[in-house]
Structure 1
């Protein structure tokens, strides 16, 4: 593959539009660009999560997910193109089963807290939920494939589970919401 970008500052977006992968242009605040931006932000937060201590297999799986998210951005960037397929969703389902099997059942709500790695995984989860909402909104305005929506839905669940695993990896446990605590 040759160089795709010969320069970064093209000035073609100065008027408030940006180019899509098919050569067309769209407004920088279009629902498609918002979805692409939310997926990109999620990928950046995953990069930050990868700076933390975690099991090697989890690290490898998150790097694979980063590549998937880059592909998802590519799919969103080219109307009608498909890169995320059912196999991607099934891989996340398998990871959910793998990591859920290591955890005790939830009996209370948990707070997005604990170790730094777990807290960053929760940030990734909430950004993933926003990306999912953006993809749903895009799907209402334009025709898109179903797998991107399914992928981010599973991914947000996986990130919740990984946060719990990361708290245990750091020697802690879930931080429980205390509904009976003294208020105010």
Structure 2
């Protein structure tokens, strides 16, 4: 392993996409255990996978709409790292705690702290909020709000899984902080694009 690496490199070979082994409604965890596809653990890391796809959509919007804009390209780099961290999170969620090795990819306290730093940095550029906001104004704003809501669902599922099985506390903390980050990123994206935020008006 290279100097300074936290986690092991992937050691997989994907030679065929379908295996027919899941046709009976079961799948296997990283440790080889067979479980129903309706299992809380599968639902949890499946939702993290869904979130990763939504983040990818947001990055694609940046590439197509805001190419050459330094601020947006900086946000794209942040989101790209988040995608890798989400894959790390999914990896450890797909593994029973007793099978998690010391170099297995996961999210940790450093990742949570990094998110907090990003929240503070992006929030410094925003005007104070005087109302709740609604998704809208720009496509990127909506995609980041969608990421926020899927992230909240993943967090709820991780907490639910923790009611019956052990779940790494940093996994829940990471999802909690990440949803806050998506909220701030969505606001920043509107301001940086020169778009008015859509404020909630209870009397519309």
Same fold (TM over 0.5): yes
Task: Normalising by structure 1, report the TM-score.
Answer: 0.94
Between the aligned partners of 1:2 and 1:106, the Cα distance in structure 2 is 47
Please name the residue that 1:69 is paired with. Answer: 86
| 3-state secondary structure, aligned to 2:111 | helix
- Asked whether the 8 Å contact 2:126–2:191 carries over to 1, the reply is no
Q: Does 1:79 align with 2:88?
A: no
Greater than 6 Å deviation, 4+ residue runs: none
Please name the residue that 1:109 is paired with. Answer: 132
Q: Does 1:20 align with 2:29?
A: yes
Please name the residue that 1:165 is paired with. Answer: 188
Number of equivalent positions: 181
Unaligned runs of 5+ in 2: 1-9, 67-71
- Aligned partner (choices 35, 45, 53) of residue 44 of structure 1: 53
RMSD (Å) for aligned C-alpha atoms: 1.3
Task: Normalising by structure 2, report the TM-score.
Answer: 0.85
Please name the residue that 1:179 is paired with. Answer: 202
Please name the residue that 2:6 is paired with. Answer: none
- Aligned partner (choices 69, 77, 97) of residue 60 of structure 1: 77
